[in-house]
Amino acid sequence: MSKTRFKRVLLKIGGESLLGNREYGIDPQAALDLANHIKQIYALNVEVVIVIGAGNIFRGLAGAANGIERATADYMGMMATVMNGLALHDALEKVNVPVRIQSALQMPAVAEAFIRRKAIRHMEKGRVVIIGAGTGVPYVTTDTGSSLHGLELRCDVLMKATKVNGVYEKDPVKFPKAKRYKELNIKDAIENDNVQIMDTAALAMCKENGLPIMVFKLFEGDNLSKAVLGEDIGTFISNEVKTKLV
């Protein structure tokens, strides 16, 4: 078996990964596709905790912008992440991956309460852990929640799965000749306004506590497996590296 670069990873996934060909909601086939990608790294004996967004259902910031009180909108977004977590939980079970879902909001009928030591124990026993409802409080993004959970669960890396294959010096959609960062120092990522991969609070938390970030394109071959094996894909963001363009 190949030796992995990371033993325990927090995988941050956007809710859009569950859209499939839909414009809204959850496509069960997309959930199965995602589950099969996760199964590949589970087979490498990597311990996995997943935080999933809710952009396919409801975004708290968008709700607030349209007149819903901000805290209420954020709670609605948290509940939407639990819905996505349940869909992914179901898909992982269908591909025979042991999994537990925990929620930062109390939802005993559908999810365990998030308890740090219990989540760690699940991973030690070979179970994937899905954390829904972010941090359980409003005014906090799922990016920041991912950084927090990555640190408290002693993960080796925060892996952010996106639609693009890393972080670019400029928006690659608007600037096709933009170069990709192979490595990016977190300080540079915070100070560069063109880097929009995570919010500043999340980046600052990772910087202050030494949690590296891997940004890569999820639905492209075996990218997830390659990322945990340490192959040169995406962008590696850390305090320990010098910023380097490809």
Please state the pTM of the whole predicted model. 0.94
* 94 phi and psi angles, rounded to 5 deg: -65, -25
DSSP letters, 13-58, are E-GGGG-TT-SSS--HHHHHHHHHHHHHHHTTT-EEEEEE--TTT-
pLDDT tens sequence across 31-43: 999 999 999 999 9
Q: How far apart are CA 15 and CA 129, in angstroms?
A: 17
Q: Decide which of 3.40.50.1820, 3.40.1160.10, 2.60.40.10, 3.40.640.10 is the CATH code for 8-245.
A: 3.40.1160.10
pLDDT per position as a tens digit, 154-208: 999 999 998 888 999 888 878 888 899 999 999 999 999 888 889 999 999 999 9
| Cα–Cα nearest to 79, from 109, 122, 123 | 109
Is residue 109's pLDDT more than 70?
yes
